[in-house]
Chains A and B, each alone.
Chain A
Amino acid sequence: MKMRDVAIVSFAQTHHERATRELNEVEMLMPILSEALAGAGIGKDRVDFVCSGSSDYLAGQPFSFVVTLDAFGPWPPISESHVDMDGAWAVYEAWVKMQLGKVDVALIYAYGKSSPGDIRRVLSRQLDPYYLGPLWVDSVALAALQARAGLDAGAFSVEDMARVAAASRHNAMSNPYAQLSGEVDVADLLAEADFVAPLHKHDCAPVTDGAAVVVLAAGGAARELCDRPAWIRGIDHRIEPHALGARDLTTSVSTRLAAEHAGLGAKPVDVAELHAPFTHQELILRRALGLDEDVSVNPSGGALCANPVMAAGLIRMGEAARRISSGKADRAVAHATSGPCLQQNLLCVLEGD
């Protein structure tokens, strides 16, 4: 089936940090909304549809997204929607809407401030409320279970995991928005104490406050607003069972399925931006996607160097698109994940002309 051509034409993100204590969500978003619109050379009057991603549980407030919309200034009334998912899924909703031909320009934003609460306890509220929730199993412990399964199965080693951490920090040195960066030695990393065994601290994404904005445009509008649009050639997402016992944690079936449906395998990619909040998850994802050694994985440093929950997947899309628009890459894949141990995954294949 022939889909309508839709591209990412502009991207902006905050300087990610451990805690944005001075700014509320509206104040955090306003500058990057302006920046993303300016990047496309448009005012908000050109935007036909707005979609956002955020989580009430992060904010600690019901309907927290409602006031955040003030950062855009939705007047006169706009066509608008919100997902309690990563902003990557907001892109999906907008992309679907753009297929219907009534929307030419869409603006997507996502934000997450993890600093107000204890993110590990907060994320435990995602679990089955009758059986798992009451145990308060936290997100790092669940990831550690997954890492242990992978190590025991011989899928990867602790050295492989440390190498992912070191490469991410190295890559982030060229990313001014990253929270963590620098040259680190694998041996030094491995010498550090266990955090939640078998995970070391370096295996886990930092706790981050941050936000991101993407502008999508269709067909001629994309060419008008961007010299080299990053065209969405395929986008798909799939979910796995919630019950961990029903899954093989050492692989990512849903990532592989989404990649098939997004047409990833048609041609090799130059760049992969993978939303892996834990080192071993990057290894699992690389394998599920069948990425060659020469693919540049997470040139931004990835979620291991800045992980604003609910925005980290959207940022992968923005980072992949940026590399296409700047001419550094011709074909890229961006990935976003949701839920414990990579339960749900979204894949987006982007190409330059």
Chain B
Amino acid sequence: MASERVAIVGIGQTEHRATNDGSIAGVVRQAASRALEDARMDWADIDAVVIGKAPDFFEGVMMPELYLADALGAVGKPMFRVHTAGSVGGSTALVAQDLVAAGLHERVLTVAFEKQSESEAMWALSVAMPFQPPMHAGAGGYFAPHIRSYIRRSGAPDHIGILVALKDRLNALKNPCAHLHEADITFDSVRDSIMLWDPIRFSETCPSSDGACAMVLTNERGGDAAAAEGRAPAWVKGTAFRSEPTMFAGRDQVNPRGGQECAADVYKQAGIDDPRADIDCVEMYVPFSWFEPMWLENLHFCPEGEGWKMVEDGVTQLDGDLPVDMSGGVLSSNPIGASGMLRFAEAAMQVRGQAGDHQVPDARTALGHAYGGGSQFFAMWIVGAQKP
């Protein structure tokens, strides 16, 4: 039974913006070209392409992998399309990693994208089902009550969400690819921004972005070759996804069991006993600031109810003990279909030491985290600088 070691040897992304002037094909190709360049490879070197995004309604193109086959150099090759919820960028990378791990292919290109400007995301998410309960407030309206539940349970003070938003937007200033570059952001400006979906303020929500992310994954031989040439690979140490039902009686949407079990699985594979001590930095999927303390608990970085204390103590700052969302996170760039893969890619960039101004010094082990839907879909990977 084959289980090859898998290395990330190329990473590319677009500069995420409200509107990218390229076509859909242009945007994915730009990210993919940069990943290939980073990997010192050409299109012909790639054995298979795995592409993800969700949902198709966002750009108005059904099964866009068909139209994108030419632009991604997939002709004559296997081209696979992944479509999970907001976790899709993560799930897509995991399918690509499985292809290499199973020994089926040596070099796999994986891409995820979204062009929110191409269509109306709010519209695409709000196709009204005449027989379902009416949606009154969009995504924020869905998540805000659960954030309120978290605050009630944990007794977290109001400023925690503000601290997370401020940190992520300041981190984004160090990341040229980030969509939002708010040089004059302050604690007060976040606090005074309009309360959109109480308890969520405007500055505590993610933007709508156009963008794409791509990675080149290869086997042990490819990883060793890159290392020999002085281009450090990131090695995959653990991968997992989990799903649970969207709505059920007694479902814990603050600390979902699916997320807890997904994290436990990925830590076990990576030989991590104490995630707080063993993981150097975390790039997690935080579309509303309050999700940072919630996920810190869900991912076992602290006891339940204490995630907000880590935020308050500055642990998750770029220069803190456990930096979180070094890239600026989803709060600073949100090409939805690509957002999960961007988290995975940032984790890999950190352990490769290629994160530039948002590099965590000597990051050896990093967690990439994505979730989707109503917090019922999770995808995670652990990557490391050291070959497992």
User: Which A residues lie at the B interface, using CB under 8 A?
Assistant: 1-4, 50, 55-57, 60-63, 65-67, 69-70, 73-85, 89, 92-93, 96-97, 99-101, 122-123, 125-130, 133, 236-243, 246, 253-254, 257, 338-340, 343-344
Q: Which of B346-381 contact A (CB under 8 A)?
A: 373, 376-377
Q: A61-B127, A66-B373 are in contact. List 17 more A-B contacts (CB 8 A).
A: A1-B2, A2-B2, A56-B62, A66-B85, A73-B245, A76-B257, A77-B244, A77-B258, A77-B261, A79-B243, A83-B82, A100-B3, A239-B76, A242-B68, A253-B76, A339-B66, A344-B69
Cα(A57)–Cα(B62), bound, Å? 6
Residue numbers in A under 8 Å from B242 (CB-CB) = 77-80
- By the criterion CB–CB under 8 Å, are A133 and B245 in contact? no
- B98 interface residue per 8 A CB criterion: yes
- B46 interface residue per 8 A CB criterion: no
Cα(A96)–Cα(B243), bound, Å? 19
- B299 interface residue per 8 A CB criterion: no
Stretch from B52-60, B147-155, B184-192, B300-308 forming part of the interface with A: B52-60
Q: Smallest distance from the beta carbon of A277 to chain B beta carbons, Å?
A: 15
Pick from A2, A73, A129, A242: contact of B69, CB below 8 A: A242
11 pairs, CB–CB < 8 Å, chain A vs chain B: A57-B56, A76-B261, A77-B257, A77-B262, A82-B82, A83-B82, A93-B95, A125-B60, A126-B67, A242-B68, A242-B70
- By the criterion CB–CB under 8 Å, are A83 and B70 in contact? no
Q: Smallest distance from the beta carbon of B243 to chain A beta carbons, Å?
A: 4
Which A-chain residue is minimally distant from B50 (CB atoms)?
A: A93
Q: Smallest distance from the beta carbon of A261 to chain B beta carbons, Å?
A: 8
- B104 interface residue per 8 A CB criterion: yes
- B74 interface residue per 8 A CB criterion: yes
Cα(A184)–Cα(B168), bound, Å? 68
Q: Smallest distance from the beta carbon of B318 to chain A beta carbons, Å?
A: 32
The main secondary structure of chain B at its interface with chain A is loop
- By the criterion CB–CB under 8 Å, are A60 and B127 in contact? yes
Which A-chain residue is minimally distant from B75 (CB atoms)?
A: A241
Residue numbers in A under 8 Å from B244 (CB-CB) = 74-78
Cα(A97)–Cα(B104), bound, Å? 11
Q: Smallest distance from the beta carbon of B266 to chain A beta carbons, Å?
A: 12
Q: Which of B38-97 contact A (CB under 8 A)?
A: 54-63, 65-70, 74-85, 91, 95
Which B-chain residue is minimally distant from A346 (CB atoms)?
A: B78
Pick from A55, A56, A63, A101: contact of B3, CB below 8 A: A101
- By the criterion CB–CB under 8 Å, are B241 and A80 in contact? yes
Cα(A253)–Cα(B246), bound, Å? 42
Q: Smallest distance from the beta carbon of A312 to chain B beta carbons, Å?
A: 15
Pick from A100, A122, A241: contact of B70, CB below 8 A: A241
Cα(A221)–Cα(B80), bound, Å? 27
Q: Smallest distance from the beta carbon of A44 to chain B beta carbons, Å?
A: 13
Cα(A80)–Cα(B377), bound, Å? 9
Q: Smallest distance from the beta carbon of A58 to chain B beta carbons, Å?
A: 9
Cα(A130)–Cα(B59), bound, Å? 11
- B156 interface residue per 8 A CB criterion: no
- By the criterion CB–CB under 8 Å, are A62 and B79 in contact? no
- B141 interface residue per 8 A CB criterion: no
Say yes or no: A67-B241 contact (C-beta < 8 A), given A89-B80, A130-B23. Answer: no
- By the criterion CB–CB under 8 Å, are A125 and B61 in contact? yes
Say yes or no: A99-B62 contact (C-beta < 8 A), given A70-B246, A83-B83. Answer: no
- B164 interface residue per 8 A CB criterion: no
Max count, chain A CB within 10 A of own CB: residue among B82, B83, B104: B83
Chain B, residues 257-276, CB within 8 Å of chain A (1/0): the string is 11001100000000000000
Top 6 nearest A-B pairs (CB, nearest first) are: A84-B83, A77-B258, A99-B102, A62-B55, A80-B243, A125-B62
Q: Smallest distance from the beta carbon of A295 to chain B beta carbons, Å?
A: 25
Residue numbers in B under 8 Å from A60 (CB-CB) = 127
- By the criterion CB–CB under 8 Å, are B60 and A129 in contact? yes
Which B-chain residue is minimally distant from A5 (CB atoms)?
A: B1
Say yes or no: A74-B95 contact (C-beta < 8 A), given A84-B56, A254-B76. Answer: no
Q: Smallest distance from the beta carbon of B80 to chain A beta carbons, Å?
A: 7
Pick from B24, B61, B76, B81: contact of A257, CB below 8 A: B76
Which B-chain residue is minimally distant from A49 (CB atoms)?
A: B241
Which B-chain residue is minimally distant from A125 (CB atoms)?
A: B62
Q: Smallest distance from the beta carbon of B327 to chain A beta carbons, Å?
A: 25
Cα(A63)–Cα(B84), bound, Å? 8
Say yes or no: A74-B2 contact (C-beta < 8 A), given A55-B62, A61-B127. Answer: no
- By the criterion CB–CB under 8 Å, are A63 and B91 in contact? no
- B129 interface residue per 8 A CB criterion: yes
Cα(A66)–Cα(B245), bound, Å? 8
- By the criterion CB–CB under 8 Å, are B61 and A129 in contact? yes
Cα(A56)–Cα(B55), bound, Å? 7
Residue numbers in A under 8 Å from B85 (CB-CB) = 63, 66
Residue numbers in B under 8 Å from A236 (CB-CB) = 78
Residue numbers in A under 8 Å from B282 (CB-CB) = none
Residue numbers in A under 8 Å from B1 (CB-CB) = 4, 99-101
Say yes or no: A344-B79 contact (C-beta < 8 A), given A57-B56, A126-B61, A243-B70. Answer: yes
- B382 interface residue per 8 A CB criterion: no
Cα(A122)–Cα(B57), bound, Å? 12
Q: Which of B1-45 contact A (CB under 8 A)?
A: 1-3, 23-24
Q: Smallest distance from the beta carbon of B101 to chain A beta carbons, Å?
A: 6
Which B-chain residue is minimally distant from A80 (CB atoms)?
A: B243
Q: Smallest distance from the beta carbon of A187 to chain B beta carbons, Å?
A: 38
- By the criterion CB–CB under 8 Å, are A61 and B129 in contact? yes
Cα(A60)–Cα(B55), bound, Å? 11
Q: Smallest distance from the beta carbon of A337 to chain B beta carbons, Å?
A: 11
Residue numbers in A under 8 Å from B67 (CB-CB) = 126-129, 242
Cα(A130)–Cα(B110), bound, Å? 24
Q: Which of B93-116 contact A (CB under 8 A)?
A: 95, 98-99, 101-104
Cα(A80)–Cα(B104), bound, Å? 21
Max count, chain A CB within 10 A of own CB: residue among B58, B63, B241: B63
- By the criterion CB–CB under 8 Å, are A81 and B241 in contact? yes
- By the criterion CB–CB under 8 Å, are B62 and A93 in contact? no
- B385 interface residue per 8 A CB criterion: no
- By the criterion CB–CB under 8 Å, are B62 and A67 in contact? no
Pick from B23, B84, B245: contact of A81, CB below 8 A: B84
- B125 interface residue per 8 A CB criterion: yes
Cα(A266)–Cα(B294), bound, Å? 55
Residue numbers in A under 8 Å from B3 (CB-CB) = 100-101
- B206 interface residue per 8 A CB criterion: no
Residue numbers in A under 8 Å from B212 (CB-CB) = none
- B124 interface residue per 8 A CB criterion: yes
- By the criterion CB–CB under 8 Å, are A77 and B80 in contact? no
